[in-house]
Structure 1
């Protein structure tokens, strides 16, 4: 704290497991911000940055997850190994602050990050496979642009970002802070 306000001391990769009153037995699923999940035939989940625009039945989240699980288009990422630089990609994608950012777990231990709307979806998985709803998907074009920008930035390490805390508030008067990263 400096002058009564929080200060960011460092940015680094890591994990977060939400503290709960009872043990969490399923670590394949994040503790918060999951907009839809399937348990059958295998566990899968999705988290949308645009959740506030989805309806109360999570129709958008369900549709996007279904599009990705039944991807009409797959391609290998030609930029090299993504898994080794996954913390870099995850941080870069989050720092974009794009309202269409999407994170998913389509198979256990294999996360994916990409772009989605109510009409299209595309993600790159940790194994370097890109999945999209079609070869001419607007989300696929957006994802490719993000990956190109990431490569041009040199796959920056998370600790190279400059953090800024921005005051946040909502309609209920709840205050807090948003972390913004710039490179």
Structure 2
């Protein structure tokens, strides 16, 4: 594949958020290729530092990144990079963010505070982002305005519910992010 051709374009999008929020699931739900996943079993050693409250059934974790691809048309691709969720792997986020059009901050209302580091990361670097609230089975539903206030997300930043398992839901999230990033580039933010 010749990436130097002027008629090709790759769009890079990050999927970020806390531990166990569904980043790997989101990338897998929409990728047209077998996603690259660096999932490893949770270990006894990691149990001392990984807070699994609210996600007790979780048995694996991303230790580097997830990668997926979507072809929009010949010569136009979206590359998805799922970030690791635990703070001990956050050093990788700066490298993953290079060249990104924007980011989806995936949030879980059972552990809403876990979304703060991702929101802060993208705001500090002025990378367009949006918040997608993953609708886990059995999780309490909250009004989006309440979630927005709780996360201190500015009004111009999209905040939408989603099901990270459902391809169409994930596609809608990604379209929302692309529209938002395009609008932010127009206003120079």
TM-score by length of 2: 0.26
TM-score by length of 1: 0.26
- Give the structure with the higher percent helix: 2
Structure with the greater relative contact order (CA < 8 A, sep ≥ 6): 1 or 2? 2
